[in-house]
Amino acid sequence: DTAVSQTPKYLVTQMGNDKSIKCEQNLGHDTMYWYKQDSKKFLKIMFSYNNKELIINETVPNRFSPKSPDKAHLNLHINSLELGDSAVYFCASSQDSTRNQPQHFGDGTRLSIL
Amino acid sequence: GNSVTQMEGPVTLSEEAFLTINCTYTATGYPSLFWYVQYPGEGLQLLLKATKADDKGSNKGFEATYRKETTSFHLEKGSVQVSDSAVYFCALKGAGNNRKLIWGLGTSLAVNP
């Protein structure tokens, strides 16, 4: 059973379009995250939710909007896609947001903007 | 603020060579320290962790010791295999209300047969 699953795995689309990435975890965790990884493997936290409450909201364009319908799901909607949005987006979860808890990652969504 | 400094890659080794990837940190209090590994085309996965000074984390032949006096958490393996080729990330989670994991830039390791 996949612990953290993201869909789609690949997303190729044109500039200006709107797209969504979905994430689900079956670990019973309270906290979920979205990361962006660029071509040099640099990881940047974007958002985090703890039990459906937004707890981390980094400096990202407001074209990015997360939604957590329940604590097992965290989706990411992106409006008006730009070339610079091309990256791999990772969803992750942890039991809670305390310091000892490791994060479990999905396999990533590879977003390419044409 | 908290930060992690990781040695730059890429690192290229022959099979059975000894591996060290340096990681040093800056933090107030007593953070938790982690090493994650990312194999090609996959997400990150926890390799090992240590939550207090002098703790040693170990997994799959990799080890790292939490050194408060040198603020370091260097990753070591005595004999690397081709299958260890991946990107390795050092990370820190601070004490208190800081809920973010602070990541190093990642070190790419290539092991040749």
Q: How confident is the model at residue B95 (pLDDT cuts 50, 70, 90)?
A: confident
Q: Share the mean pLDDT of chain B.
A: 94
Count of CB contacts below 8 A, A vs B?
Answer: 53
Strands (E), A38-103: 43-50, 53-57, 64-70, 73-78, 87-94
Q: Which residues of B touch A105 (CB under 8 A)?
A: 43-45
Contact A103 B87 (CB under 8 A): no
- CA A7 distance to own-chain centroid: 10
Nearest to A94 by CA among B58, B108, B36: B36
CB atoms within 10 A of CB B61: 13
Q: Does residue A105 sit in helix, strand or coil?
A: strand
CA A88 to chain centroid: 9
Structure tokens that stand for B26 in this block: 């800056």
Chain A residue nearest residue B40, CA to CA: A107
Contact between B106 and A41 using a beta-carbon 8 Å cutoff? yes
Q: Does B60 touch chain A (CB under 8 A)?
A: no
State whether B93 and A99 contact (CB < 8 Å).
Answer: yes
| Angle at alpha carbon of residue B106, lines to B70 and A96, rounded to 5° | 80
Instruction: Quote the CA–CA distance of A108 and A10 in Å, as a whole number.
Output: 9
The stretch B69-75 carries a mean pLDDT of 97
| Per-residue model confidence (pLDDT) at position B5 | 96
Specify the higher pLDDT residue, A57 or B111. B111
Read off the pLDDT of residues A1-39 as tens digits, 9 standing for 90 and up: 669 999 999 999 999 999 999 999 999 999 999 999 999
Contact B42 A103 (CB under 8 A): no
> In the predicted model, what is the mean pLDDT of residues B28-37?
92
DSSP classification of residue A84: G
Residue B96 pLDDT: 66
From CA A60, how far away is CA A79, in angstroms rounded?
A: 12
Candidates B11, B101, B103, partner chain A, best to mutate (most A CBs within 10 A) = B101
Cis bond leading into B31, ω under 30°?
A: no
DSSP for chain B reads --EEEE--S-EEEETT--EEE-EEEE-SS--EEEEEEE-TTS-EEEEEEE-STT-EEEETTEEEE-BTTTTB--EEESS--GGG-EEEEEEEE-STT--PEEE---EEEEEE-
Q: Parallel, antiparallel, or unpaired: how do β-strands B107-112 and B11-14 relate?
A: parallel
Nearest to B39 by CA among B113, B112, B106: B106
Judge whether residue B29 has pLDDT over 90.
no
Phi and psi at residue A40, in whole multiples of 5°?
-95, 10
pLDDT digits (tens, 9 = 90+) for A41-88: 999 999 999 988 998 888 889 999 999 999 999 999 999 999 999 999
- Tell me whether residues B43 and A105 touch, CB distance under 8 A: yes
Tokens 């000892």 correspond to A100
pLDDT of residue B9: 87
B105 and A100 in contact by Cβ < 8 A?
A: no
Q: What confidence tier does B64 reach under pLDDT thresholds 50, 70, 90? A: very high
